[in-house]
Chain A
Amino acid sequence: MSDASTSSDVEPDHDHDHHHEGPGYSTPQAAIEESDREQLAYVMSLYVGTDVDEPDFVAVVDLDPDSETYGEIVDRIEMPNRGDELHHFGWNACSSSCHVEGLERRHLIVPGQRSSRLHVIDTKDRRNPELVEVIEPEEVFEYDLSAPHTVHCVPDGKIIISMLGDADGDLPGGFLELNDDFEIEGRWEPPGEIEMNYDYWYQPRQNVMVSSEWAAPKTYYPGFDLEDVEAGKYGQKLHFWDWENGTVEQTIDLGEEGLIPLEVRFLHTPESTHGFVGAALSSNIFHFWRDEAAGEYRAEKVIDFESREHPDWDMPVPALPTDILISMDDRYLFGSNWLHGEVWMYDVSDPANPRRADSLSVGGTFGEVQEVQGRELAAGPQMIQLSLDGERLYWTTSLFSSWDDQFYPEEAERGSVMLKADVDPRNGTLELDEDFLVDWGECPAGPARAHEIRWPDGDCTSDVWQ
Chain B
Amino acid sequence: MTSHDVTLEWPDGRTRTIAVREDESVLEGGERDGVGLPFGCRTGACGTCVGRLLAIDGTGGGGDAADREPIGDAGDTEPIDVADAFAYRREPRALKPRHRTGGYVLLCIATPRADCRVAVGSQVQSELVDNPWK
- A residues near B, CB below 8 A? 48-51, 53, 82-83, 85, 114-116, 137, 146, 165, 167-170, 217-218, 221-226, 312-318, 401-402, 405-407, 409, 412
B38 touches A48 (CB 8 A): yes
B side interface size, CB within 8 A: 30
> Across the interface, which residues of B come within 8 angstroms of A167, CB to CB?
43
12 A-B residue pairs with Cβ-Cβ distance under 8 Å, sorted by A, are A49-B40, A83-B40, A146-B43, A168-B43, A217-B41, A221-B46, A223-B125, A223-B126, A224-B132, A225-B96, A402-B128, A412-B122
Give the docked Cα–Cα distance between A146 and B122 (Å). 23
- A188 to B10 Cα, complex, angstroms: 44
> What residue in chain A is nearest B31 (Cβ atoms)?
A82
What 3 A-B pairs have minimum CB-CB distances, sorted nearest first? A169-B45, A53-B36, A114-B40
Taking the closest CB of chain B, its distance from the CB of A118, in whole angstroms, is 14
User: A112: nearest residue on chain B (CB-CB)?
Assistant: B40
> Which B residues lie within 8 Å of A318 (CB)?
133
Whole-angstrom distance from the CB of B86 to the nearest CB of chain A? 18
Tell me whether A402 and B134 are in contact (CB under 8 A): no
- State which residues 74-106 of B face A: CB under 8 Å: 91, 93-96
Are A146 and B40 within 8 A (Cβ)? no
Q: Is B131 an interface residue (CB 8 A)?
A: yes
* B42→A115 contact, CB < 8 A: yes
A interface secondary structure, majority: loop
Shortest C-beta distance, B99 to chain A (Å), equals 8
Name 8 extra pairs, CB < 8 A, besides A115-B42, A146-B43.
A48-B40, A48-B48, A50-B122, A83-B38, A169-B93, A402-B125, A402-B128, A406-B130
| Bound form: Cα–Cα A67–B87 in Å | 56
A48-B48, A169-B45, A217-B46 given as contacts; is B129 within 8 A of A225 (CB)? yes
User: Contact partner of B126 among A170, A226, A405, CB < 8 A?
Assistant: A405
Q: Are B41 and A114 in contact (CB under 8 A)?
A: yes
Query: How many angstroms from the CA of A65 to the CA of B121 in the assembled complex?
Result: 40
| Choice from B41, B50, B94 contacting A146 with Cβ under 8 Å | B41
CB-based contact A114/B133 at 8 Å: no
What is the minimal beta-carbon distance from A147 to any residue of chain B, in angstroms?
A: 8
Asked whether, in the complex, the Cβ of B45 is within 8 Å of the Cβ of A313, the reply is: no
Q: With A83-B40, A115-B40, A170-B93 in contact, do A223 and B128 touch (Cβ < 8 Å)?
A: yes
B134 pairs with A114, CB closer than 8 A: no
With A225-B129, A406-B131, A412-B122 given, is the CB distance from A83 to B48 under 8 Å? yes
Query: In the complex, which residues of chain B have a beta carbon less than 8 angstroms from the beta carbon of A222?
Result: 46-47, 50, 94-95, 125, 128-129
CB < 8 Å: which of A50, A165, A313, A401 contacts B133?
Answer: A313
| Interface SS of B by simple majority | loop
* Chain A nearest CB, measured from B54 CB (Å): 18
CA distance A315 to B126 in the complex (A): 20
B39 touches A83 (CB 8 A): yes
Interface positions of B (Cβ within 8 A of A): 10, 36, 38-48, 50, 91, 93-96, 121-122, 125-126, 128-134
Complex contacts, B95 vs chain A, CB 8 Å: 222
Residues of A within 8 A of B132 (CB): 224-226, 315
B46 in contact with A114 (CB, 8 Å): yes
Query: What separation, in Å, do the CA atoms of A217 and B128 have in the docked complex?
Result: 15
Minimum CB–CB distance for B96 against chain A, Å: 8
Chain B positions within 8 Å of A224 at CB level: 129, 132
Residue of B43, B50, B96, B130 with most partner-chain A CB within 10 A: B43
Q: Which A residues lie within 8 Å of B94 (CB)?
A: 169, 218, 221-222
Residues A115 and B41 in contact in the complex (CB < 8 Å), given A218-B46, A222-B47:
yes
Selected from B45, B48, B131, the residue in CB contact (under 8 A) with A402 is: B48
Please name all residues of chain A whose beta carbon is closer than 8 Å to the beta carbon of B40 when the two chains form the complex: 48-49, 83, 85, 114-115, 221
When chains A and B are docked, how far (Å) is the Cα of A224 from the Cα of B58? 34
Q: Which B residues touch A217, using CB under 8 A?
A: 41, 45-46
| Residue in contact with A51 in the complex, picked from B42, B46, B122, CB distance below 8 Å | B122
Q: What is the CA–CA distance of A405 and B128 in the complex, to the nearest angstrom?
A: 11
Distance in angstroms from A447 CB to nearest chain B CB is 12
A84 nearest in chain B by CB position: B40
Is the pair B47, A402 in contact by a Cβ cutoff of 8 Å? yes
- Give Cα A407 to B131, complex, Å: 6
Contacts of B44 in A (CB 8 A): 169
**B36 and A221 form a contact (CB under 8 A):** no
Whether A314 lies near B45 (C-beta < 8 A) is: no
Report the minimum CB–CB distance from A295 to chain B (whole Å): 40
List of A residues within 8 angstroms of B96 by Cβ:
225
**A82-B39 contact in complex given A221-B48, A224-B132, C-beta closer than 8 Å:** yes
- Is the Cβ of B45 less than 8 Å from the Cβ of A409? no
Residues of B within 8 A of A169 (CB): 41, 43-46, 93-94
Contact B129 A223 (CB under 8 A): yes
Instruction: Kindly state the separation between the CA atoms of A271 and B47 in the bound complex, as whole angstroms.
Output: 44
Bound-complex Cα distance A49 to B38 (A): 5
Cβ-defined contact, A51 with B129, below 8 A: no
Chain A residue numbers with a CB within 8 Å of B133 are 313-318
In the bound complex, how far is the Cα of B131 from the Cα of A48, in angstroms?
A: 20
| Interchain CA distance A231-B44 in the complex, whole Å | 21
Which residue of A has the minimal Cβ distance to B10? A51
